[in-house]
Amino acid sequence: MASFTVENYIKAIYRLSQKDAEGVSTNAIAEALGTKAATVSDMLKKLSQHKLIHYKKYQGTTLTKNGRDMALNIIRKHRLWEVFLVDKLEFRWDEVHDIAEELEHIDSDELINRLEDFLGRPKFDPHGDPIPTREGQIERREQVPLTELKTNETGYVTGVKDSSKEFLQYLDAQGIELGNKLEVTDIFDYDKSRTVKHQGKLVTLSQQVCKNLFVRTES
Amino acid sequence: MASFTVENYIKAIYRLSQKDAEGVSTNAIAEALGTKAATVSDMLKKLSQHKLIHYKKYQGTTLTKNGRDMALNIIRKHRLWEVFLVDKLEFRWDEVHDIAEELEHIDSDELINRLEDFLGRPKFDPHGDPIPTREGQIERREQVPLTELKTNETGYVTGVKDSSKEFLQYLDAQGIELGNKLEVTDIFDYDKSRTVKHQGKLVTLSQQVCKNLFVRTES
DNA sequence: CAGCTTTTTTAGACTTATCTAAAGTTATTT
DNA sequence: AAATAACTTTAGATAAGTCTAAAAAAGCTG
């Protein structure tokens, strides 16, 4: 019970339950996976039988301990492969998602543990997302979206909420990378956009961009 | 038309056609893949429709140009991943086959070309097998099984015919590695076993071992 | 709160890859 | 060359994962 398909369902449910806190709805899963609600309904029954999710008809679903462990292991593999692709094979951070999506299903703990050592046991992937440990622990970062900063406050870029190719390429175009220092110099009430000082230059970032850019304020 | 399953059929047919020269039989494929002849028969029809094989009922099958290209690309990926596993992740040569068997299905030319560069464009995998180029060229090595050497002749180990875990571990136990010099000091008519000088020591190798060990005699 | 809308589930069907059993083809042997 | 053996194909069934259409449940809305 750990096919390609099952793993994708479990991963989708994990991601959605991060956002919603509530039980994850059938429709939300269908949309996330590009399938139909009927298909998801069938699958939820199977996942439930295999004790990967808690499920009562019409009630949405949540992962069991087993399901969560599976999800974290897939995410661990995905993020370690992303580090490999960027650090070793010199892919850009906006190019790695789809390939990692395939590599994450390779089934070998030995492989992934050796890969982790080879990469120098990184704690974060190229988008700033934390990499779960072998034991399934995942670090919660102290970070806030840039929208939380007031005028004259400063933050260091720790990650992105939206890892889409489009957003990452936008950040590249602005020259914004993980670790960069950003100082908010202006907030426009009109559209909630912000002007920030970045490497000596002033750039204006829309509210949508600020929402999707995480920063750490202390240190 | 390039599912996991199809790729495995194509790879099996390629390997078998190396050995047999003749058209590959349904039964041989079934045995290689651990399925039944009936299943193979069905699949051959489909592969034929997709112009990956030449196929006439009861006649055995051979790969078309397309099929051969697909096979060589899979083999290229398999062998490059094996180099990665051994050179970078420090797996032993007898441990890498099964993992590479999964990795070979990852679908990205960009990935595999970058991997090739990262590995220093190796020409051979850890078992001495040549790695097909991006253009689908595969080098034919000038090598012979150790059974071809007469008494007092010398060869350098270039590869193995049998890449099974068992055989590779046997070679490890004897301390025999790719590149080693072997000098045949004795051939026993009784069982066709050979005594060879290896790193100053004399070892006796059975006929079966000699058959599966390739050496290059010139230079 | 009764009716309408949205969401979810069920029912039945399709595709891919597999199987067993039976029938058909080719090869071997006497 | 007929009988037998071996191999291959066909036929019908199964399991996983998907779909559409229809039924059932939950949630809004006036």
Q: Which nucleotide is nearest to B28 (CA to C1')?
A: D7
Whether CB of B20 is under 7 Å from strand C: the answer is no
pLDDT digits over B128-175, tens only? Answer: 999 999 999 999 989 999 999 999 999 999 999 999 999 999 999 999
Whether CB of B38 is under 7 Å from strand C: the answer is yes
Quick one: pLDDT at residue A22?
82
Quick one: pLDDT at residue B89?
98
CA B19 to C1' C28 (Å) is 24
pLDDT digits over B6-26, tens only? Answer: 999 999 999 999 987 789 999
DSSP B44: H
Q: Note whether A111 contacts B88, CB cutoff 8 Å.
A: no
Chain D bases near protein CB atoms (7 A cut-off): 7-12, 16-22, 25-26
The residue that leads in pLDDT, B3 or A76, is: A76
Asked if pLDDT for residue A219 goes beyond 70, the answer is no
Whether the CB of B118 is below 8 Å from some CB of chain A: the reply is yes
CA A72 to C1' D17 (Å) is 24
Packed helices B109-118 and B65-83: angle between N→C axes, nearest 10 degrees: 40
CA A33 to C1' D21 (Å) is 21
Min Cα–Cα distance to chain B from A165, Å: 17
Cβ pair A194, A188 in contact under 8 A: yes
Contacts of B89 (CB under 8 A, 6+ apart): A111, A114, A115, A118
Q: What integer is the mean pLDDT of B87-110?
A: 97
Asked if pLDDT for residue A183 goes beyond 80, the answer is yes
With residue B157 as reference, give the H or E element that holds it.
Answer: strand B154-160
pLDDT digits over A113-135, tens only? Answer: 999 999 999 999 999 999 999 99
Quick one: pLDDT at residue A218?
76
Local structure of A75: helix, strand or coil: helix
Asked if pLDDT for residue A20 goes beyond 80, the answer is no
pLDDT digits over B40-95, tens only? Answer: 999 999 999 999 999 999 999 999 999 999 999 999 999 999 999 999 999 999 99
- For chains A and B, CB pairs below 8 A equal 34
CA A36 to C1' C8 (Å) is 11
Taking the CA atoms of A116, A120, A121 and A127 in sequence, report the sign of the dihedral they define.
Answer: negative
Q: Note whether B90 contacts A115, CB cutoff 8 Å.
A: no
Q: Which nucleotide is nearest to B44 (CA to C1')?
A: D9
Q: Note whether A85 contacts B118, CB cutoff 8 Å.
A: no
pLDDT digits over A63-115, tens only? Answer: 999 999 999 999 999 999 999 999 999 999 999 999 999 999 999 999 999 99
Q: What integer is the mean pLDDT of A198-219?
A: 93
Here the tokens at position B142 are: 């000038």
